[in-house]
Amino acid sequence: MKNILLLNGGKAFAHSLGRLNDTLHKTACETLGKAGFVIRQTKIDAGYDIQVEVENFLWADLVVYQMPGWWMGIPWTVKKYIDEVFTAGHGLLYTSDGRSRSHPERKYGSGGLLQGKHYMLSLTWNAPQEAFVDADQFFEGKGIDAVYFPFHKANQFLGMTSLPTYLAADVIKDPSVELTIADYRAHLAKILDFTPVAPMGGP
């Protein structure tokens, strides 16, 4: 993987200022750039050109979604982005739902044109880690990726494959920004197989 599209879904809303998502997005830009990857980035809430974003998906080997968990899912701004960009990508990102009367063996969801490309979620939540993995807590032990099952399937509809999700948990009640930055940098280095270069004065 050489070309990486970083999508910043952070947004100032209600009691959230969106600063942690901006910080993790910046961490990815700096860490991956220093490791030799070619970066394109879009801050969704700042606006975007739909056709340019379709081209970005065609260009990218990996798409990283940076976003907060809002009401058990993605922010509406990110959902709007997906609706607009994926719909405009018909014929480029996917052909159809994959089924064909002449080929009845083809199954729903097999029409993606982005085979061989990957995507990754980087998420911030106020919920603690145990809320996702403990069967007696809120998410019944199903894990963070089960919470995002429809979002995963939207990306897989295009033919992309997921890389391990990064979760920054308990970010409001027990914030630890410097440790989170270091942990995210290590996560990127592990899944993309490179040695991170720490910024001067940074963790």
What pLDDT does 189 receive?
Answer: 97
Closest by CA position to 165, among listed 122, 130, 124, 134: 122
Kindly report the pTM of this predicted structure: 0.92
User: Which two structure tokens, joined as six digits, stand for 26?
Assistant: 């910046």
Beta strand segments in the chain, E: 3-8, 38-43, 62-68, 118-124, 161-162, 166-168
Place of tokens 């890389």: 163
One digit per residue, the tens of pLDDT, for the chain of length 203 reads 899 999 999 987 766 666 999 999 999 999 999 999 999 999 999 999 999 999 999 999 999 999 999 999 999 999 999 999 999 999 999 998 767 777 777 787 768 999 999 999 999 999 999 999 999 999 999 999 999 999 999 999 999 999 999 999 988 887 889 999 999 999 999 999 999 876 655 55
How far is Cα 98 from Cα 120, in angstroms, rounded to an integer? 23
How far is Cα 171 from Cα 186, in angstroms, rounded to an integer? 18
